[in-house]
């Protein structure tokens, strides 16, 4: 079951600096929404507010309303939010001291699942959803999470995030550290995943945004300048700043 994300007047600070100035956005369920913009525009900050990772920085602060489905994520424990809203990071970060199996199962084990059969099933399901199963099914418990290639590691991280059955998946430039083939694999993955979850993907690669996302939001200097269907953003943007960015005049 996928859920829409509703963001209302979201502001974020790092210490005294206001990084996001009142963002309003609605993310459609079962679709992929891309977040684009030049470096420093706040896209990573924005996405990290959606699973309350932003506040893990001791000087960071956020205000406003974010609802995932009917949940107000700022009105519930952050730990619970992050089970519903998963995240994949720019640099793949599997736990090197754990096997592939343990990596995928990590979230489940934390939530108290002990039953081996359940764990086995979920691990297999998640790895299949992440299109990694065939490659690792024989070495699940023997190889460490860090012994895979970059692209495989990222898919492992996706599997790990999928294992706890989130409703929304946040992806912060998931392919920027990967080679083109791995990137293509992950983009294919996003197509599949969309059917079950809602995806929000930050990307600095505009071609990627147009490939995978139905909706795109353009951020600039902490503001959401324009938000619309991807084709419209890339072929006929309403705002001049969007057009300048798309056409490469800056960024």
Residues that bind another protein (CB under 8 A): 51, 53, 56, 58, 77, 79-83, 86-87, 89, 91, 93-98, 106-107, 110-113, 157, 160-161, 164
Task: Tell me how far, at minimum, the Cβ of 163 lies from another protein, in Å.
Answer: 9
Cα Rg of the chain (Å, integer): 18
Residue 84 · residue 68 · CB < 8 Å:
yes
Q: Of the two residues 113 and 128, which places its CB atom closer to another protein in the complex?
A: 113
**Phi, psi (degrees; rounded to nearest 5) at 188:** -60, -40
C-beta of 23 vs 161, nearer to another protein: 161
3-state secondary structure 54-112: HHHCCCEEEEEEEEECCEEHHHCCHHHHHHHEEEECCCCCCCCCCEHHHHHHHHHHHCC
State the minimum distance, in angstroms, from the CB of residue 119 to another protein: 14
Residue 169 or 246 with smaller CB distance to another protein: 169
In the complex, least distance from residue 249 CB atom to another protein, rounded to whole angstroms? 33
Both structure tokens of 247 = 């056409």
Q: How far is the CB of 175 from another protein (least distance, A)?
A: 16
Closest CA to 160 of 97, 120, 101: 101
- Pick between residue 26 and residue 110 the one whose CB is nearest to another protein: 110
Tell me how far, at minimum, the Cβ of 213 lies from another protein, in Å. 21
Of residues 107 and 237, the one with the C-beta less far from another protein: 107
- How is residue 146 annotated by DSSP? G
């Amino acid at each position: 079951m996928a859920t829409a994300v509703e963001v209302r007047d979201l502001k974020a600070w790092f210490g005294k600096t206001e990084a996001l100035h009142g963002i309003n956005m609605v993310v459609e369920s079962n679709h992929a929404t891309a977040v684009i913009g030049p470096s420093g525009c706040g896209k990573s900050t924005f996405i990290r507010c959606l699973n309350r990772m932003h506040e893990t920085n001791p000087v960071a602060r956020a205000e406003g309303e974010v609802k995932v489905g009917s949940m107000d994520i700022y009105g519930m424990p952050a730990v619970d939010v992050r089970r519903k809203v998963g995240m994949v990071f720019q640099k793949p970060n599997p736990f090197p001291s754990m096997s592939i199996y343990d990596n995928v199962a990590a979230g489940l084990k934390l939530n108290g699942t002990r039953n081996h059969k359940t764990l086995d099933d979920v691990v297999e399901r998640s790895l299949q959803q992440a299109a990694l199963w065939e490659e690792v099914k024989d070495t699940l418990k023997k190889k460490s999470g860090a012994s895979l290639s970059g692209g495989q590691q990222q898919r492992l991280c996706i599997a790990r995030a999928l294992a706890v059955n989130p409703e929304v998946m946040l992806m912060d430039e998931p392919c920027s550290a990967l080679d083109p083939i791995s990137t293509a694999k992950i983009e294919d993955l996003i197509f599949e995943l969309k059917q079950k979850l809602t995806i929000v993907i930050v990307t600095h690669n505009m071609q990627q945004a147009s490939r995978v996302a139905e909706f795109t939001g353009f951020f600039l200097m902490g503001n959401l300048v324009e938000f619309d269907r991807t084709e419209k953003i890339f072929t006929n943007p309403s705002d001049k700043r969007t057009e300048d960015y798309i056409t490469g005049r800056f960024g």
